[in-house]
Chains A and B, each alone.
Chain A
């Protein structure tokens, strides 16, 4: 378990090196730290190693350990402070959106990790249905709640960005509508979990509901491609100017770490509640003791 945490941090370090340090070296030190790796390959390595770090952090998580989420929280906040400093004070304003574009440095990573948190919830739901291990039920509840918080924040940031650029706080555009559906669908799953007292029924019903609600995640992602949307399409390193990379990526690593830390903390709360619910009542324990 300790080793998995170290491996996850090593994977994260690889992602930070290729995603952030090489770019910072190019822009501020005029030094080539790329080790001969192309821009596209560096972006891919940063993305895949970040994703692998999340899988190892959560897959190898020891639910009894309370120090790890706190380490990730502190690291995430540090990344966010650096990213926000670059986003607010160092990066230049965008040609058409001006300073308003600085909202993207928090809005885009929030969108990525809202969808990722719900994906983790989906995976946890599938695993729980197969092995009935309540650790996965706790992870599912944790990741759904974090996904809902991130999706709510995403809608708030989007509304603040929409007002100066579109002239309205909200529009029933395909991307915005499907995101609102996603938020309320997963909020409904959390409500369902509150109403069902039996932990076994709660786990099964909410797993099935999560799998059904997850259908909306790819719809949210592809909505800007499938329909005529006001919302802009996904960006890539080819469509984003280099001075914008550092704040976007530093904030992305920061919000990624916050997401993992929040899921770990929330899963521990669920696990403690499940432990209480699944424990035999004291009377039964005493009777069992007498029978033995």
Chain B
């Protein structure tokens, strides 16, 4: 115990993976929802 954090790469990889996952999944759902909304709007016209 010397007051410093040792290791930690597994936590770093976890944090970056969660970040990438959330951005990719949310981005994909937005594009999919937008496409569906546009298709619905064009069908109604």
Contact = CB atoms under 8 A, between A and B. Distances in A.
Interface residues of A, number: 36
B26 A164 contact: no
A106 B18 CA distance: 10
B14 to A, nearest CB: 5
Contacts of B37: 268-269, 272-273
B32 to A, nearest CB: 10
Contacts of B30: 262, 265-266, 269
B3 A265 contact: no
Nearest to A96: B4
Contacts of A7: none
Decide if the interface of chain A is mainly helix, strand, loop or mixed.
Answer: helix
Interface residues of B, number: 27
Contacts of B15: 103, 106-107, 156-157, 160-161
Interface string B5-45: 11111011011101100110011001101100110110010
Interface string A59-99: 00000001000000100000010001000100000011111
A99 B19 contact: no
A93 to B, nearest CB: 9
B17 to A, nearest CB: 10
B34 A269 contact: yes
A258 interface: yes
Contacts of B31: 265
Contacts of B4: 95-98
Given A266-B30, A268-B34, A269-B34, A153 B5 contact: no
Interface of A: 66, 73, 80, 84, 88, 95-100, 102-103, 106-107, 110, 149, 152-153, 156-157, 160-161, 163-165, 258, 262, 265-266, 268-269, 272-273, 275-276
Interface of B: 3-9, 11-12, 14-16, 18-19, 22-23, 26-27, 30-31, 33-34, 37-38, 40-41, 44
8 contacts: A96-B3, A98-B5, A153-B22, A160-B15, A163-B11, A269-B37, A272-B40, A276-B40
